[in-house]
Amino acid sequence: MLCIDTLGGLYLNTDRQIIRHITLLRVAVGFLGEQSAPKWWNCSFFDTSGRTFLAPVFPRTYVRAQYQGVVAAAALAHDDHIGVGNVFHLFRLPENFEQDIHAAFDDDIIGEIANLVKDSDAATQFLSGCAGSTHKASSGPAKIGEIALLRSMSTWEQIASLYLSSFNQKLNTYPFFSDKE
């Protein structure tokens, strides 16, 4: 499976590329969640005031601080709707994924993040490029499948499609994984 990013590049179906893809998907969904009316989570890390606040405190790493802030806010919103325990979602993944995502932060990904958060159209275009076949979203939690699916690019395409549909329909959907019924 391939996915087009905002710079027109292709993601190949490798673990490294999946981790990079998840990172950018978090940014796009996090940014759009902040921009939605009503907001999915009450934060403004990726708007001008967020940067103005974070840049003096984290002059070299404010993009990472923006990313971590929106991920934390989105994780809380997802946890409130899905619950916690033996479940995972885009903003709270197993520890090995989180460590890989942390290690994936480099100058290239920071540039891609800056492109994604230019405006809502850029983030929406990214989601459109990543979305596999269209999945109509419904409001509330949406079980994707078992945790083993986390390493499948087609799973992340499905999740991108669900988020894209939910933003277009002005619904809040919360895709998640669990091995329990």
Tokens representing 111 are 């540039």
Confidence at 181, pLDDT banded by 50, 70, 90: low
| Positive or negative: CA dihedral 39, 42, 43, 49 | positive
Mean pLDDT, range 19-30, rounded to an integer: 94
Residues facing 145 on adjacent strands = 177
Spacing of C-alpha 55 from chain mean position: 22
Model pTM score? 0.86
Mean pLDDT, range 165-175, rounded to an integer: 92
For the chain, give the percent of residues with pLDDT over 90: 50
Total number of domains in the chain: 1
What CA–CA distance (Å, rounded) separates 131 from 28? 12
